[in-house]
Amino acid sequence: MSAEFTRRIFSGIQPTDHMHLGNYLGAVRNWVGLQGDEFETIYCVVDLHALTANQSPEGLRAAIRELVATLLACGIDDKRSILFAQSHVPAHSELAWLLSCVARMGWLKRMTQFKEKAGKKQDAAVHGLFAYPVLMAADILLYKGTHVPVGEDQKQHLELTRETAGSFNHTYGREVFPLPEPLILGAATRVMSLRDGSSKMSKSDPSDYSRINLTDDADTIALKIRKAKTDPEPLPERLEELDGRPEALNLVTIYAALDKAEPAEILQRYAGAPFSTFKPALAELAVETLSPITAETKRLLGDQAHIDAVLADGAARAGAIAGPILAEVQEIMGLVRL
Ligand code: TYM
């Protein structure tokens, strides 16, 4: 008989710079919607993962608190969910080492994110960037997470988590870990850059015009959408006709996600419209959705003591789940527990 696991969601986001529209539509909005009776929900600001990117210590500290404020402003409810920072629960680092002795070099060498981020200088990349997916596996497995809501770009990392969990279970001959399922939901599972429809919207793009940040004001959002790369053709009637027009497809997808509709419906509404009509409509919708979040983030950031109290409470609740699971793993692997 297979083991019964609590239906438990775990997901994480890095505090590098500001949260952007891709993070929101691809992940965080789904995190908010998944809060309820069906799952226990645990959301983590993965500050240890952020150490793999170049950021000043002060910049990182500010980004951690800003991200907590943004997540609360997006609708993460710190009473219904556990919201905490990874480094406040040391068991993440401990389990990451234990799983490093399970995950294979070959699996890690296949990771496309490492290849993209390290570029041609793989030997100069820090070891943490290579080991990143093992820490991510530890994040999820430390809570025996069963479901992981993420954008499409995290699919391969989730596959490695499943392989690691399966290998652990096989080696020790019992079903210790569930094989976590990715939840890749909504119209915008991969939001693309506003400057280049073939690359993902990301915090690491040097051009701020490539992304909409959740901290942007209304004028900045409108300007970025006005400047977004497009082509001279009007919008077609059917989705298939957007083949070969990645920038147009991206804007239609963003519109659909913001409107909680299907891209095909948006095309029916705007068939034949030029971008000079579509872009202002998109800007208006984006501002309408994002400005309450931006305003609430600002308000919350005015009260750092509250943010830190949320983090402390989240760390205590996360630690209470993580502690016994780490102890179970240590025991199973043969460490002496006193
Ligand atoms: P991060 O911080 O890069 O992104 C956070 C979430 O946002 C999603 N996302 C996107 N979705 C759609 N379009 C985009 N352009 C886009 N860019 C980012 C990501 O898929 C992610 O869901 N490795 C993770 C953080 C992590 C984690 C975990 C996630 C660490 N431990 C455990 C889940 C479970 C990351 O770098 O996400």
Per domain, the residue ranges of the chain are 8-184+304-333, 208-299
Residue 83 Cα to ligand 1 middle (Å): 16
Residue 53 Cα to ligand 1 middle (Å): 14
Best residue among 13, 16, 71 to mutate for probing ligand 1's pocket (most ligand atoms within 8 Å of CB) is 13
**204-254 pLDDT, tens digit each:** 899 999 999 999 999 999 999 999 999 999 999 999 999 999 999 999 999
**43-76 pLDDT, tens digit each:** 999 999 999 998 899 999 999 999 999 999 999 9
Nearest partner of 191 among 54, 28, 53, 6, judged by Cα? 28
Ranking 81-95, 112-126, 209-223, 278-292 by mean pLDDT, the lowest is: 112-126
Q: How far is CA 193 from CA 137, 153, 198, 287, in A?
A: 28, 14, 8, 18
**Among protein residues, the one whose CA lies closest to atom 31 of ligand 1:** 136
The question of whether 117 is a catalytic residue gets the answer yes
**Among protein residues, the one whose CA lies closest to atom 34 of ligand 1:** 11
CA–CA dist 87, 92 (Å, integer): 8
Average pLDDT over residues 107-127: 93
Instruction: Work out the pLDDT band at 2, boundaries 50, 70, 90.
Output: low
Which tokens is 33 given? 């919607």
- Out of 200, 224, 227, 260, pick the active-site residue: 200
Atom of ligand 1 nearest to the CA of 16: 2
Which tokens is 173 given? 């001959």
- Out of 203, 224, 229, 260, pick the active-site residue: 203
Alpha-carbon torsion, ordered 203, 63, 74, 133, to 10 deg: 60
The domain 8-184+304-333: what is its CATH number? 3.40.50.620
Per the confidence metrics, is the pTM higher than 0.95? Answer: yes
For 267-323, what is the HEC assignment?
A: HHHHCCCCHHHHHHHHHHHHHHHHHHHHHHHHHHHCCHHHHHHHHHHHHHHHHHHHH
Q: Are 142 and 95 in contact (CB under 8 A)?
A: yes
User: Which residues, 6+ apart, have CB-to-CB distance to 41 below 8 Å?
Assistant: 8, 9, 31, 34, 35, 80, 81, 82
Rounded percentage of the chain residues whose pLDDT exceeds 90: 95
The domain 208-299: what is its CATH number? 1.10.240.10
Q: What residues does 10 pair with on adjacent strands?
A: 42
Question: Strand, coil or helix: what is 175?
Answer: coil
Q: How open is the CA angle 276-279-282, to the nearest 5 degrees? A: 150
Q: Which residues line ligand 1 (CB under 6 A)?
A: 10-14, 22-23, 26-27, 46, 49, 136, 139-140, 148, 150-151, 153-154, 157, 189-191, 200-202
The question of whether 144 is a catalytic residue gets the answer no
